[in-house]
Copies of this chain bind each other. A is one copy, B any other.
Amino acid sequence: MNNSVKQITKKKIIFIGAGNLATCLSLAWQKKGISIYQVFSRTEKSARELATKLNCSWTTNILEIKDDADLYVFSVKDSVLKDLLETMPPNNGIWVHTAGSMSISVFPDSHSSCGVFYPLQTFSKDRPVDFTDIPIFLEARNADVYALLEDIAKQLSNNVIRASSLQRQYLHIAAVFACNFTNHMYAIAENILSAHKLDFKSLIPLIQETAQKTISLHPIDAQTGPAVRYDENVINKHLDFLSDTPTLQTLYKELSNSIHKYAVNTHLQENEPNKL
């Protein structure tokens, strides 16, 4: 272990929040020999559960958060972050949050040692995650803070990237499409199958290949299906079959239109030189 790693593993880290991201991130650091100093959560059960896993102390009282830590990781819902920061007693540690959609300016101006630590992944408490390839997007109010965040991020990931608050906002929106909305497509598919006594498991190879194909090719080149060339034959048949679920029917129509628009635009761009 070299000196800088030794220094990092001696840092005292407190987690403010004990949700999905806080759980996965703190456990990942612990695995790398960086022990967690304390956990705060307003929910006693969550605080106790995470602290037990981390073998550290916990509190539900914001005034009992220890004031001698090096790093305070605020990993709470966007809607409570601002209020929480306003009641947080001042200290000399570095404060970071982990929210894609919150600007760095949410921190009080008086606190210059602050930044953002945003790992782009979907987290669940009970699903341990390997951080090696997960991109971690960093932002900081000054170079010293950035350097420390970079050191501690690189303990986990080979993919540490600087991003502004504005870029992170778009990263978060893109992640909503690539993860949350994608998962909803799976949920709709499952719903359609179970209504017709078919097994969701039948879709597993398709789901895996769709993800792999978009990664190997490119989402535009990987696009297949009736909407690409707007095959009205198939599309109208599908819309008929969805007529008893009007919400799904509308979604189907709009997504097909959107796919077709993308395909036409790409095609136009590709043919541009020939047109001139």
Residues of chain B with a CB closer than 8 A to A169's CB = 237, 241
In chain B, what residue has the closest Cβ to A208?
Answer: B211
In the complex, are the beta carbons of B255 and A181 less than 8 A apart? yes
Inter-chain contact A173/B238, CB cutoff 8 Å = yes
A209 pairs with B173, CB closer than 8 A: no
A55–chain B nearest beta-carbon distance, Å: 27
**Residues of B contacting A206 in the complex (Cβ-Cβ under 8 angstroms):** 120-122, 175, 178-179
Number of interface residues of A (CB under 8 A): 91
A262 near B187: Cβ-Cβ < 8 Å:
yes
Rounded to whole Å, the gap between the CB of A162 and the closest CB of chain B is 11
Q: Closest residue of chain B to A129, judged by CB? A: B209
Are A78 and B233 in contact (CB-based, < 8 A)? yes
A153-187: which residues lie under 8 A (CB-CB) from chain B?
159, 161, 163, 166-167, 169-187
A90 within 8 A of B: no
A interface, CB within 8 angstroms of B: 20, 77-79, 101, 120-124, 127, 129, 133-135, 159, 161, 163, 166-167, 169-193, 195-198, 200, 202-211, 213-220, 222-227, 231, 233-234, 237-238, 241-242, 247, 250-252, 254-255, 258-259, 261-262
For the complex of A and B, the 5 pairs showing the least CB-CB separation, nearest first, are A180-B225, A187-B219, A178-B189, A174-B189, A186-B219
> 14 A-B Cβ contacts within 8 A?
A77-B231, A78-B234, A120-B206, A122-B209, A171-B193, A174-B189, A176-B227, A179-B224, A182-B210, A183-B223, A184-B259, A247-B261, A251-B255, A254-B254
